[in-house]
Chains A and B, each alone.
Chain A
């Protein structure tokens, strides 16, 4: 109940700050980009729009999460609104989970809009919707579930700029986490190998949520893959929010 009150408030703040308008940027990329690039693709307009739409969805989602989330907790501390809220019978963890859920709700709303638009544009081109594209979009939301937790965690103990930079870094490195392991095996026995392995263990494996290649081949994910990826995303997000809650619970507010 208290967590939901914080979530509702966080969602309302993002909505009144017009964060959802980032959807227009996506629309411009998918519709405008599709129109502009299709003539160059020699009959592959559908493929271009699909690939562009899925890639832009991931980037726009990341942008929204960083824009809204990076200063989310720090803003409450700077404006001292946190004093009023935390003086209520609310646990620090409940506050942070509420913040997470509120931001995720906004991200979810924009995600639904982006998915619907992409499906509409592809349907208008081909007269059908490829389920593999919808699965790829759905997996992108898994990426958002993890990244939202990461930005909320960073926003509890670093400045908004650093929180934004770190989150983007996690997003990028998370997509290349497999390369870290390969790199570690090449420099075996050195400190760098140890650092690379630690980074591999800590960073989220964002490629788990990347089904854009499968979408290109109209391949549907296997049920166990859906389950494993979903469980991984939820567990990773939960762990990050819990660790952040533990850090946040000892924080003092001067």
Chain B
């Protein structure tokens, strides 16, 4: 294990970003702002998800944390150290988006190079590399060069190099990208294992179900602005209850009447009636039954992270509202 001096980290915070802005100059000299006053904290030992459409500024934010880019404005600290400092990077593991590694090396050679770069003692390296390869689901005995690896295998090697030196903070840019469903499950389990070990994980993803399953907090970045930030549970509005009544053979008069109010949508031969107020649920069920329609189901539904994400990604200005309710069946 590496001897490390752990500085005083601000109470509970692994990462603090305040008012981070980033401007680029295009080749025509025009200034483009890709991040505008982005600020959020990631508490130690938690999993934080950074969401956003392509070009939202997720990777730029992560690169600023790592010192691969300098912010044009704002400040931050990571693990109690300045952003991008060598001391901070000693305790960070990073998986870039669409990772591409030295393809003339075998997995073991590549990880050995990474181990040298992070100061892992030579005597521990072999065992550590074997354990890490097994942990990400790769065969430690295979001597294949990385150029023969599939995209999914490269993603696993990327994860292996990120966790090899037992970092306190993991920054993963699209860690599920290129993985099949089994691989995604394994990575999800790995992230949860790492969290149980007390690691802090900051990751960006397009796969919202994974974010919803893994993260305590998320930030939604759109066009360089942090449109929404908070606990996943708060964003999903746990206290809000909506219900859906599923029917068949509903009379045309009722369909017309409820359609005008925007309460129903059709799905094949089924009619789905959304009831916003729980107080009205009994009355609507009675109406359906009285009309002679077939009642198929009455189900509670909740907002998905995808609903929240799409709302913020598709609407313009930053908002604190939860956005329109688009129901999804409860699990």
- Give the B-binding residues of A (Cβ under 8 A): 1-2, 4-6, 8-9, 12-13, 16-17, 79-81, 83-91, 250, 252-254
Contact = CB atoms under 8 A, between A and B. Distances in A.
Nearest to B60: A254
Contacts of B119: 1-2, 89
Listed residue (A16, A79, A89) with the most chain B CB atoms within 10 angstroms of its CB: A89
A5 B102 CA distance: 13
A90 B90 CA distance: 9
B294 interface: no
B161 interface: yes
Contact of B100 (A4, A12, A81, A87): A81
Contact of A16 (B86, B92, B104, B113): B104
Contacts of B117: 2, 5-6, 85, 88-90
B114 interface: yes
Nearest to A252: B69
Contact of B96 (A80, A89, A250): A80
Given A87-B89, A89-B86, A91-B86, A81 B101 contact: yes
A9 B86 CA distance: 21
Contacts of B104: 12-13, 16-17
Secondary structure at the B interface, as helix, strand, loop or mixed, is mixed
B98 interface: yes
A5 B66 contact: no
Contacts of B89: 87-90
B193 to A, nearest CB: 22
Interface residues of B, number: 32
A2 B113 CA distance: 9
A79 B113 contact: no
B94 A87 contact: yes
Contacts of B101: 81, 84
A252 B105 CA distance: 26
Given A9-B113, A253-B63, A84 B68 contact: no
B13 interface: no
B206 interface: no
A88 B84 CA distance: 10
Contact of A5 (B63, B67, B116): B116
Contacts of A90: 86, 89, 117
Given A9-B102, A13-B102, A84-B99, A2 B69 contact: no
B118 interface: yes
B96 A84 contact: yes
B115 to A, nearest CB: 9
B70 interface: yes
A154 B96 CA distance: 26
Contacts of B96: 80, 83-84, 87
